[in-house]
Amino acid sequence: MTDRMRWLLRRVCEGDLIKAQQEARTLLTYNKVKKDEAFCQSMLHTLDKSQTKLIELPPNLQGLLVAEDTSSFPFSRFISRPEEERIVAQMVSTARASGKLAELGISCNPTLMLYGISGGGKTMLARYIAHKLEKPFVYVRFSNVVSSHLGSTQSNIARIFDFVRKSSCVLCFDEIDAVGMARGQRNDVGEMNRIVIALMQEMDNLQNDTVIIGTTNRYDRLDDALLRRFRLQHEVVPLNDIEALELSSKFFASTGYDAESWVKEWCCASIGKVGITAAEVVRKCTDKIITDYITEEEK
């Protein structure tokens, strides 16, 4: 396996669809193997139709936020279970009712905390909600928001919320535990406490039509007061064998790759009652294609 293949697989498994698609485009464009020509052209055409489209942001927010056009959604890499559809419906209904509630003087933001193990599909579910609401999906890059300079992080958060107040979007705090840890612990850092307070104050001052979604795999460590700002809370659990079979079948169908017998055999043998994350399913399916490709090359 080449370094570029490893890089691509890492991005897929981590759920970074944008970077994964960019790397896939590079690999497909510069693959000059004659027998792969038709496949590469087909996949490039698929990327042209389905690739996530980024929305340009003001210069002072570039690096802090990423904004995506959700008018198209990668349904071939996603399954929504009944309990998740209920949460989506609640978010959509609350968002649509928020204007009427504002007229009545009632503050009510559509807010949702998604929690569960890493790779379970929390961020993809948040994107799906944005798609259903027909709003851009804007997510926060906490690695750039959190600054070593005193007070700079609060300033970054204030800029983010100033943008959200002027723009109709779904704002996602992906891995919100990066800044939302519970206060009052022995190893508290004063600056991080102030960040949690600033975040809550900004959320309290939002208009009713602002949709906020947080995701975390450390739900147990989040600040209780911050959690109360999220009206709905939902655990995204691993896929069972039937759901994993469905996602695997959709994955291969979208690529035109025939692996039906392998999918059934793998799902029955590997998952059982334990469950598996969506990211693991995609990784396993990708590994299958790579293994077959290498085997074919060695013949």
In 10 A of CB 60, how many CB atoms? 11
pLDDT digits (tens, 9 = 90+) for 30-79: 777 888 888 888 877 776 655 556 577 788 887 888 888 888 888 888 89
Kind of pairing between the strands at 53-55 and 65-69: antiparallel
The encoded tokens of residue 233 equal 């809370």
User: Stretch 162-180: mean pLDDT, rounded?
Assistant: 86
Q: What's residue 84's pLDDT?
A: 95
- Letter for the amino acid at 98? S
Q: What's residue 215's pLDDT?
A: 94
Q: What's residue 53's pLDDT?
A: 62
- Decide if pLDDT at 295 tops 60: yes
Residue with tokens 């300079």: 149
Report the distance separating Cα 265 and Cα 36, nearest Å. 27
Of 127-136, 137-146, 150-159, give the range with the top mean pLDDT.
Answer: 127-136
User: Stretch 139-146: mean pLDDT, rounded?
Assistant: 78
The structure's pTM equals 0.76
pLDDT digits (tens, 9 = 90+) for 91-139: 999 998 887 888 888 888 899 999 999 889 999 999 999 999 999 999 8
Where do you find CATH 3.40.50.300 in the chain?
Answer: 54-235
User: Stretch 76-96: mean pLDDT, rounded?
Assistant: 92
pLDDT digits (tens, 9 = 90+) for 194-215: 788 888 999 998 887 789 999 9
Domain 54-235: what homologous superfamily? P-loop containing nucleotide triphosphate hydrolases (3.40.50.300)
pLDDT digits (tens, 9 = 90+) for 249-268: 888 887 777 777 777 777 66
The CA–CA distances, whole Å, from 276 to 6, 117, 242, 244, 282 equal 21, 10, 11, 7, 11
- Decide if pLDDT at 182 tops 70: no
Confidence of residue 281 (pLDDT cuts 50, 70, 90): confident
- Give me the chain's average pLDDT, please: 81
